[in-house]
Structure formats: structure tokens, C-alpha cells
């Protein structure tokens, strides 16, 4: 592993390292198992080839307040070098203050993150801290120009702020939040834990324990009405004080906007900071009223089913293929000999409808309707030709939306369709609009028909069919195909399936932290 101490050495290394993706882990040194887990994650390919990993070690004076621990912050470059190399880093950039800030602190161009993200939590108690963090990270990003920036979720406010800074400045780097690493008794790993002595170390473990108990308490008491949080905050504060921890704050906020939250709705951050002797500890848990929901909408033939199924499996979420439900109803309408465009005749068929989606032993999805196994049959060109017409009836829409919402009551699923983010699960944690150009979708459809032994029309004809279906889906009066305002558009032209899944995993992790939905593989 290369040790780089000047910007010139860094430039030379960057110039000679080849074209592999570059993943960057910024640290203030005093590396521990938590940093090593960031470096190990940074080594994972993400489907785009084996990356190179650069770690920086820089105790950034800009992010310390006048009475904070800048002078005594642990510095151990030789040990850091070994730990970074052991975890698989290719280079360690450890500049001096004069090397990174040659113009001197007073003359620096600084990055000021939005006030709304800094005014609560640690920002309220550490004036100027996040400006210092944003300034150094942007400077490092400008010098290094990595493809991916890995940050711990432990410093959740820092992660939210840096994501926002990267987004607002249009920096071409993917930000990945990584799971918090803990000691056996729950204490989150931190370089500052080195300050804890004897009895203090025992008392420090009360912070994660009290937060975890509070989260547990809410999980037990789920009610129809949103749970008020004030009493819980008071209780956490009191318990921390009983452990002789000196509390800076105990706050509940929206996990992404970081604005105070008074009731449990949506993903909520319960965070606390407290002093244990000379050490300032921070920690948090996430509160959720149900498991996460991902809504994936988009036009026909954009490859939604394949990627959604694989994505759901990767995250341990249930896959809800709502398109298959509409297809099954279409099959039933056709089998019953009813005209698909006759809403009056279709409506009675929906009464007492038994429509089931289940997972086959092979892992694939099985669909049955009124006791008929229709997994294959609903993929026929006849069903494909009429599903839009059937799905446009308000009675069909209402019946299936109700059923889908009942299936999603406890969350923990990825639902795929046309109006999931707008009508079925408008409060989904992540909404994606997955699409591809008409030409690309026609190519994919031709390949699929060919592989399944059906006659393949000319590409132009397929394109026209797809355009016609898009038009029908997006102009119908009931539940038209529209992109939810808060959905992320993902255009899959030219992307391999694995790359699309990686992108979805990244998007999911931006919305749903590891602590809220743990899954060691993503």
C-alpha cells in the first residue's frame, strides 16, 4: 500500500493507477474495525469491476470547536497504515494541515451546508462543525475525484449533509452509507472511545442500550394512530441521566430532512449525544411504524419484473408483481367469455375473486386465480394484448388496489406496477420510475418472445404496439401511468441487469439505512 503525504504524490499515484473505479474512504485516523469495514465494503465491486481503494487520514481542524479535542485527538499513522493495508486499501493519503490548506485557514473557500440540516442534533451543539466537515470533504473529493465515497451511518447527520452537498454541487460521486459497527455490548465503534477509562467504558454502553430499548418499546405498541414521541424522548433523557451521562440532546427527527418529528410517521431518527467523562458519545436508532416499501413503476417492457424480483431477493423483501395480478384478472375475463372493454360485465367477476401470488420452490412467482394455476398462461400474447383495457376499469383498479394495500400493511415488500408510487403506496420509502426508450423495449420484447417460442413481429410493429400501450396506460382516466413527483427516474437503456440492480440497491440505501433494515449482503 502506498503512503501519500503531499498533493503531488497523490497526483502521481492517481495518474499511474489505471482505469479501475476509485473508491474513497475519508477518515480522521485512529482507525478501528469500523473504518476497516468501510474499506472492505469499498473493495466490493458493485458490478463495475474491481475498484481501487484510497483512504485519507486527516485530523481536520476546521471541524473542531474552540473547546473541543483537536489537540488530544488520537494520531497513530503507523498503526493506521497497517490497518488500512490489512483491510485492502491500495493507498493512504495523509497530508499535513499546511499541505491540504496551503492558503491558510483564514483564507479558505468554505462550503456551507443548508441551515435546515445543521440546526438540530449535533449541529446545534457544535457550531461550525458541519461547515468544517463539508469543506474538507469537498476539497478531498476535488483532489481525488473518486467514483464512490463511503461514509459510516454512525454519523447520520454528517452522512445526510454530505449527500446533500454532493447533490447540490453536482459532484460526480456516488455516496454510500455503511452500517455502524459495534462492540459486543452495543457501544458504537469510534476513535474517541479510546478516551473512555474503566467505569466510563461500562457506562458508555448505556447509550445504545437505552436507545434500543426505546425502539423496542415502540415496536411492541403499534397502534392505528401515530404514536406521540415526547414521552419517549423524556424517558430516554431520564434514563441516560440515571447512568450519569451528561446529555447534549435527545431528539426525534425525520430521518432525511432532519426536521423535528413529534409523532411516529415514516422513517424517524431517534438520536442522542451525551458526555461520559471527557468523551462525547453519539448514537441513534431508527423508528419505523412498518417495514420498508419500495414502489417501482414504469411502462411495459422496461425490464421491471426481472430486476424487481432480483432486487427484492437481494434485500429480503417480498416481491409483489401487481402486473401479474392485472394479467390474472384479464385471463379470468377472457376465460369467462366477457368482453374485456365492458366494465358492467367485468365488475361481477371481481366479487369473491381469489387471486394469489406465492413463491414457488424454485424461487419464481406463482400466480393462481379462482383455483387455476395461471403463472404461464398470463404471459401469453392474448393476455398481453388486452391487459391495458381490463386494467383501465375503475372497478378492477379499486379491487386490486385494496388487495395490494392489504398485502402491504406490514410493509417489507417491493411492489411493481404502474401506479404503485402514486395510488397504492404513496408513502413508500423509495419510489423508482424504471423506464427505457421504445426502441430498446421493442428489442427486449422481441428477444423474450423468441426465447419463449412465440412468433416475433417486426421490430417496427413491436415499437408501434409499445407506443400505443404507453399511450393507453398514460392517458386513461383511471390510474394513468405517471411518474410520482418524488420518484427517481432510472433509464435502463444500455445497462446490464446487474448494473440496474446495483443502482436500485444504492437508491434503497439512500432512503433506508442499514440500521433500519439490516441485510449483511447489501
Q: In angstroms, what is the minimal distance from the CB of 107 to ligand PAF?
A: 19
Taking the C-alpha atoms of residue 85 and residue 431, their distance in angstroms, rounded to an integer, is 39
CB nearer ligand PAF, residue 58 or residue 319: 58
Q: Which range touches ligand PAF (CB under 6 A), out of 21-29, 207-215, 218-226, 358-366?
A: 21-29
Q: Is 501 left (phi over 0), alpha (psi -120 to 50) or beta?
A: alpha
3-state secondary structure 204-231: HCHHHHHHHHHHHHHHHCCCCCCCECHH
Q: Which is nearer to ligand PAF, 60 or 492 (CB)?
A: 60
- Nearest-approach distance from CB 34 to ligand PAF, in angstroms: 10
User: Is 303 an interacting residue with respect to ligand PAF (CB under 6 A)?
Assistant: no
Please state the φ and ψ torsions of residue 392, each to the nearest 5 degrees. -85, -10
* Candidates 14-22, 130-138, 326-334, 509-517; binding stretch for ligand PAF (CB under 6 A): 130-138
Q: Is 164 helix (H, G, I), strand (E, B) or coil?
A: helix
Closest contact distance (angstroms) between CB of 517 and ligand PAF is 23
**By CB under 6 A, is residue 218 in contact with ligand PAF?**
no
- Provide the minimum distance between the beta carbon of 180 and ligand PAF in the complex, in angstroms, as a whole number: 12
In whole angstroms, the minimum distance from the beta carbon of 176 to ligand PAF comes to 13
Task: Please identify, using beta-carbon distances, which residue of 59 and 367 lies nearer to ligand PAF.
Answer: 59
> Segment near ligand PAF (CB under 6 A), from 131-139, 261-269, 407-415, 433-441?
131-139
Q: Check 23, 32, 35, 372 and give the catalytic one.
A: 35
CA distance 466 to 448: 14
Check binding of 470 to ligand PAF (CB under 6 A): no
Which residues are registered as beta bridge partners of 287?
Answer: 268
Nearer to ligand PAF, 52 or 63 (CB): 63
The DSSP annotation for 387-442 comes to HHHHHTSHHHHHHHHHHHHHHTTT--EEEEESSIIIII-TT-SEEEEEE--HHHHH
Residues 34-73 that bind ligand PAF (CB under 6 A): 60, 63
**Annotated catalytic, 23?**
no
DSSP string of 278-296?
Answer: TEEEEEEEEE-SS--EEEE
Residue 123 binds ligand PAF, judged by CB under 6 A: no
Q: Is 133 in the site for ligand PAF (CB under 6 A)?
A: yes
Cell numbers at residue 455, please? Answer: 412468433
The nearest distance, CB 133 to ligand PAF, in angstroms, is 5
Return d(Cα 188, Cα 216) in angstroms, integer: 18
161/179 Cα distance (integer angstroms): 17
Nearest CB to ligand PAF, comparing residues 140 and 349: 140
Considering the complex, what minimum distance in angstroms separates the CB of residue 260 from ligand PAF? 24
| Closer by beta carbon to ligand PAF, 145 or else 242 | 145
Number of residues near ligand PAF (by CB under 6 A): 10
SS3 content of the chain, % helix, strand, coil (to 5): 45, 20, 35
Binding segment (CB under 6 A) for ligand PAF, from list 20-28, 68-76, 112-120, 455-463: 20-28
- Give yes or no for residue 155 binding ligand PAF (CB under 6 A): yes
Is residue 374 helix, strand or coil? coil
For ligand PAF, give the closer residue by CB, 32 or 44: 32
**Nearest-approach distance from CB 498 to ligand PAF, in angstroms:** 30
Nearer to ligand PAF, 248 or 470 (CB): 248
- Helices 33-42 + 77-87 axis angle, to 10: 40
Residue 328: HSE in the Cβ half-sphere, 13 Å Cα cutoff: 23
| Alpha helices (H) along 156-280 | 156-168, 198-204, 206-220, 230-242
Q: How far is the CB of 272 from ligand PAF (least distance, A)?
A: 18
Closest residue to ligand PAF using C-beta atoms = 26
Determine if 180 is a binding residue for ligand PAF (CB under 6 A): no
Place of cell 459486543: 184
Regarding 144 and contact with ligand PAF (CB under 6 A), the answer is no
Window of 88-96, 129-137, 192-200, 362-370 that interacts with ligand PAF by CB under 6 A: 129-137
- Closer Cβ to ligand PAF, 63 or 90, answer by number: 63
| Cell reading at 264 | 411516529
Q: Does 137 bind ligand PAF (CB under 6 A)?
A: yes
28 is a contact residue toward ligand PAF (CB under 6 A) = yes
Closest to 247 in 3D by CA, of 207, 194, 190, 215: 207
Q: Is 27 in the site for ligand PAF (CB under 6 A)?
A: yes
- Cα(459)–Cα(79) distance, integer angstroms: 61
Q: Which helix (H) or strand (E) holds 469?
A: helix 459-475
Specify the DSSP class assigned to residue 142.
H
26 binds ligand PAF, rule: CB under 6 A: yes
**What residues contact residue 167 under an 8 Å CB cut-off, 6+ apart?**
none
Q: Is 283 a residue that touches ligand PAF (CB under 6 A)?
A: no
Interhelix angle for 230-242 vs 206-220, to 10°? 150
Active-site positions read 35
The residues that touch ligand PAF, with contacts defined as CB under 6 A, are: 26-28, 60, 63, 133, 136-137, 155, 158
Amino acid at each position: 500500500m502506498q503512503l501519500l503525504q503531499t498533493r503531488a504524490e497523490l497526483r502521481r499515484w492517481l495518474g499511474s493507477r489505471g482505469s479501475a473505479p476509485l473508491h474513497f474512504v475519508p477518515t480522521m485516523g485512529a482507525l478501528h474495525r469500523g473504518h476497516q469495514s468501510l474499506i472492505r465494503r469499498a473493495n466490493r465491486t458493485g458490478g463495475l469491476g474491481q475498484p481501487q481503494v484510497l483512504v485519507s487520514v486527516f485530523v481536520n481542524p476546521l471541524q473542531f470547536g474552540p473547546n473541543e479535542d483537536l489537540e488530544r485527538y488520537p494520531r497513530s499513522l503507523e498503526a493506521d497504515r497497517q490497518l488500512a493495508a490489512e483491510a485492502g486499501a491500495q493507498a493512504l493519503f495523509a497530508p499535513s494541515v499546511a499541505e491540504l490548506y496551503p492558503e491558510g485557514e483564514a483564507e479558505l473557500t468554505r462550503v456551507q451546508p443548508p441551515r435546515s440540516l445543521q440546526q438540530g442534533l449535533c449541529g446545534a451543539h457544535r457550531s461550525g462543525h458541519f461547515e468544517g466537515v463539508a469543506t474538507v470533504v469537498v476539497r478531498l473529493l476535488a483532489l481525488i475525484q473518486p467514483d464512490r465515497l463511503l461514509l459510516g451511518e454512525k454519523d447520520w447527520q454528517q452522512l445526510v449533509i454530505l449527500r446533500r452537498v454532493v447533490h447540490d454541487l453536482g459532484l460526480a460521486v456516488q455516496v454510500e452509507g455503511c452500517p455502524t459497527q459495534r462492540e459486543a455490548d452495543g457501544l458504537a465503534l469510534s476513535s474517541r472511545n479510546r478516551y473512555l477509562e474503566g467505569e466510563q467504558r461500562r457506562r458508555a454502553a448505556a447509550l445504545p442500550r437505552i436507545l434500543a430499548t426505546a425502539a423496542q418499546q415502540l415496536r411492541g405498541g403499534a397502534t392505528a394512530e401515530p404514536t406521540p414521541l415526547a414521552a419517549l424522548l423524556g424517558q430516554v433523557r431520564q434514563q441516560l441521566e440515571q447512568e450519569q451521562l451528561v446529555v447534549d440532546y435527545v431528539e426525534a427527527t425525520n430521518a432525511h430532512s432532519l426536521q423535528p418529528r413529534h409523532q411516529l410517521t415514516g422513517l424517524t431518527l431517534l438520536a442522542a449525544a451525551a458526555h461520559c467523562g471527557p468523551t462525547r458519545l453519539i448514537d441513534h436508532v431508527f423508528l419505523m411504524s412498518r417495514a420498508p416499501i419500495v414502489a417501482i413503476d414504469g411502462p411495459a417492457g422496461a425490464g421491471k419484473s426481472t430486476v424487481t424480483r432480483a432486487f427484492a431477493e437481494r434485500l429480503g423483501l417480498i416481491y409483489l408483481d401487481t402486473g401479474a395480478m392485472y394479467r390474472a384478472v384479464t385471463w379470468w375475463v377472457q376465460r369467462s367469455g366477457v368482453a374485456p372493454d365492458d366494465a358492467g360485465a367485468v365488475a361481477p367477476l371481481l366479487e369473491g375473486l381469489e387471486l394469489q401470488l406465492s413463491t414457488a420452490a424454485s424461487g419464481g412467482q406463482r400466480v393462481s386465480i379462482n383455483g387455476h394455476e395461471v403463472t404461464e398462461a398470463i404471459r401469453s400474447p392474448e393476455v398481453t394484448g388486452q391487459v391495458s383495457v381490463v386494467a383501465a376499469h375503475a372497478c378492477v383498479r379499486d379491487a386490486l388496489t385494496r388487495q395490494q394495500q392489504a398485502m402491504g400493511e406490514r410493509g417489507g415488500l417491493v411492489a411493481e406496477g404502474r401506479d404503485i408510487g402514486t395510488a397504492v403506496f404513496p408513502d413508500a420509502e423509495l419510489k423508482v420510475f424504471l423506464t427505457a426508450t421504445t426502441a430498446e423495449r421493442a428489442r427486449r420484447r422481441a428477444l423474450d418472445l423468441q426465447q419463449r417460442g412465440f412468433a416475433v413481429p417486426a421490430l417496427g410493429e413491436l415499437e408501434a404496439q409499445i407506443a400505443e400501450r404507453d399511450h393507453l396506460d398514460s392517458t386513461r382516466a383511471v390510474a394513468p401511468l405517471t411518474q410520482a413527483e418524488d420518484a427517481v427516474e432510472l433509464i435502463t437503456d444500455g445497462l446490464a441487469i446487474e448494473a440496474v440492480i446495483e443502482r436500485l440497491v444504492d437508491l434503497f440505501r439512500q432512503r433506508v439505512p442499514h440500521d433500519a433494515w439490516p441485510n449483511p449482503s447489501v
